[in-house]
Amino acid sequence: MIRSRTLLALAALAVTAGLAGCGDEPANTRAKIAAPSVATGASPSASASLTPERLETIYVDTTAAHLCAVQSRVYTDPGAMADAYASKPIYAGLTDVQVEQYQQRIISDHEFASRLTQQIQQTCGTATK
């Protein structure tokens, strides 16, 4: 069980690190996933009114939903699967700078990475009880 958690955490870190290094992708490959309770078209200035905890939650929830959506789909083309993992979801209410900071935090902050791992498990339905 601990080994599977470690592997899931490492997979999440690898995907997040891959997302951090991918740069801009064509607009037609951008995932259409948004965190609940935040307007999809939120302007970057909207993030100024959100608490730091809420901004983290938006990042964690949106990333988990994106990874679960990609993981749950069957890909016949390995390139399409790689593109799906590399695509960045829309982080409603977060600026590109904030997203980059959270991606770096996943790599450097063990507690934050664990929080993402737990959210992935909960969102994908693999959380242990």
Q: SS3 string of 45-114? A: HHHHHCCHHHHHHHHHHHHHHHHHHHHHCCCCCHHHHHHHHHCCCCCCCCCHHHHHHHHHHHHHCHHHHH
Reported confidence tier of residue 30, pLDDT bands at 50, 70, 90: very low
Most distant CA atoms of the chain, gap in Å: 43
Reported confidence tier of residue 45, pLDDT bands at 50, 70, 90: low
Reported pTM: 0.62
Reported confidence tier of residue 126, pLDDT bands at 50, 70, 90: confident
pLDDT beyond 70 at 12: no
Q: How far apart are CA 100 and CA 103, in angstroms?
A: 5
Tell me the pLDDT tens digit for each residue of 66-120: 999 999 999 999 999 999 999 999 999 999 999 999 999 999 999 999 999 999 9
